[in-house]
Chain A
Amino acid sequence: MNKLRFITLVFIYLLLLSDIFSQTLKEASLIETVIPDTGSNGEILSRKVEYDVNCEFSNPVDPKMVVDVANWKVFGNGTVLRLSAIIVKSSRPKWVKLVGPFEGFENLTVEFKDGGAVQVNVDSASIGKTKWGFGKGKAIDVNVRRLAHQEALYALDFDLSVKILEHHLAAPSGDFWVRSLSLDAVSTGTFGSDDEVRNGTQTSLGLTLHPFYFVGGLVYQMKLKFSYQFETAMDPGNQALLNIINKLFKFGFEAELPYTNYPMYKLHTVTGYARLAMPLTLGVEYLPKGKNEVGISTLARLDVRTRYELAFSPYFILQGEWHRSSFYDVPPGVDNNASYYTVAVAQDLDAVKQTIGFLKLLLGDSDEIRGKHFVFYRISSGRKAPAFQDLNEQSFGFGTYF
């Protein structure tokens, strides 16, 4: 009995040992890789894009075995392909990179010989050019505010966006990078407890091109948009909250202006306040004539928007927005433009907690609320799309993230 138990234990031990030291190729995937293209003196001339095969082993492997070209075979559409390099990261690597050329092969398989040959099909999904991205790149921003009026008025601002489909265009090779083309759904608006604070909704479905560029060591992005939009506003006559007041195709762009975040960036290097310094954003959109719910033509307009944030510390974040709409072919007696601004001062709730004792009792000493919950005070004035009603309000609010 003891002998049998001993043999069983030795067998299990050997089994575990063989698993630990096995160099089984588990997975391989084709991946887009950017590499520096260097000159004869090692200087970087440009960057180029390659398609490499990343291989994953079940356990860390002997680097001498995996860097030996004789142990590998890569088949592309049935023929053996030449490897130009094999790269490992450490002395006991689990991941190994095979350098091709591998581009343009639909059926790639990799074979690694360690005793017996193990062959795996290469997953090329990682460089799939077009991807459904529903739920990816989603952003949900909801703020609730109480207006500082004599009577209690409440408003809910929302800003929802989601990428439905994304077509990957290119990896960065220089200082300008057109990353992707995406199909996005976006909805923004304000609902309120009274006509005075309702400003309707804007919902659009459209294509966006996403270029990035580098200036002064920082990255900036642009968005070029073409979309179909409908705008709603409250109809006081029949109390319909989502009365469609405009349906149209629109086009425009949004751009972050270089260097505008540089002062705040430099301040953060000194103070150590960890927050991404936001550049000034400029948005321009042209909206041709549209039609409302009953088919009546609406005015064409040009909307210009700017947005800026100055985050001095968790105690003092200042945000401002300015909008201007200019209308074309305006009938006599109607304003040919409308402008609007809003300024908000926000504080991290964690910073407020440090100074107000009862909040500490209420929220505890946990670090979890830091950087997540904010209180703000906002002043808004003017008229903006879609309802263009006169707004002149001061409000206090609470937001998760800011």
Chain B
Amino acid sequence: MTEDLEQKLKEAFCKALACTGIGAAENNCDEVLPQVVKHVVPQDQHSDFPVRFLACVTKVCTGDPYKWRVDQKVPDSSDTTTFQELYDGWFKDIVWP
């Protein structure tokens, strides 16, 4: 994978995170990535967050400037899954640049 593509993938992932309502992902995404998903998402949202996130990934990655294909696969996350793990183990699989 080229450095340019890797950068674009990370940028799109961070935009999708911000779309769910995580404002810190807009300017400080590198600090959000190592954090545990369930610690950043309020408890009321724990059950709905995976679908909410897939909706945002689809919206961002199929839109400008990326125009990628996005497989409709909801992420699985445990109590200890981090955003970095979702990026490497789920996001990179479902988007097709």
| A15 is an interface residue with CB less than 8 A from chain B | no
In contact, B24 and A33 (Cβ under 8 angstroms): no
A-B contact count (CB 8 A): 154
In contact, A32 and B36 (Cβ under 8 angstroms): no
CB neighbors of B among A106-157 (8 A): 126-127, 137-139, 141
Contact of A212 among B26, B52, B73 (CB under 8 A): B52
- Known contacts A274-B31, A278-B44; decide if A32 and B71 are in contact (CB<8 Å): yes
Q: How far is the CB of B29 from chain A (nearest CB, A)?
A: 10
| A277 is an interface residue with CB less than 8 A from chain B | yes
Question: In the complex the two chains form, what is the Cα distance from A57 to B48 in whole Å?
Answer: 33
In contact, A371 and B70 (Cβ under 8 angstroms): no
Q: How far is the CB of A158 from chain B (nearest CB, A)?
A: 12
Q: How far is the CB of B71 from chain A (nearest CB, A)?
A: 5
CB neighbors of B among A260-275 (8 A): 261, 264-275
Provide the residues of chain A in CB contact with B22, threshold 8 Å: 268, 274-277
Contact of A277 among B23, B93, B96 (CB under 8 A): B23
Total contacting residues, chain A, CB less than 8 A: 65
Question: In the complex the two chains form, what is the Cα distance from A275 to B20 in whole Å?
Answer: 10
CB neighbors of B among A79-130 (8 A): 87, 89-90, 95, 97, 126-127
- Known contacts A47-B62, A275-B42, A401-B38; decide if A126 and B24 are in contact (CB<8 Å): no
**What mask results when residues 27 to 57 of chain B are scored 1 for a CB within 8 Å of chain A, else 0?**
1100110011011111111111101100110
CB neighbors of B among A48-80 (8 A): 49-50, 52, 54
Q: How far is the CB of A143 from chain B (nearest CB, A)?
A: 10
Question: In the complex the two chains form, what is the Cα distance from A161 to B21 in whole Å?
Answer: 23
Provide the residues of chain A in CB contact with B24, threshold 8 Å: 268-269, 271-275
A interface residues, Cβ below 8 angstroms from B: 31-36, 38, 42, 44, 47, 49-50, 52, 54, 87, 89-90, 95, 97, 126-127, 137-139, 141, 161, 163, 171-172, 177, 179-180, 210, 212, 214, 217-219, 221, 261, 264-279, 307, 309, 311, 370-372, 399, 401-402
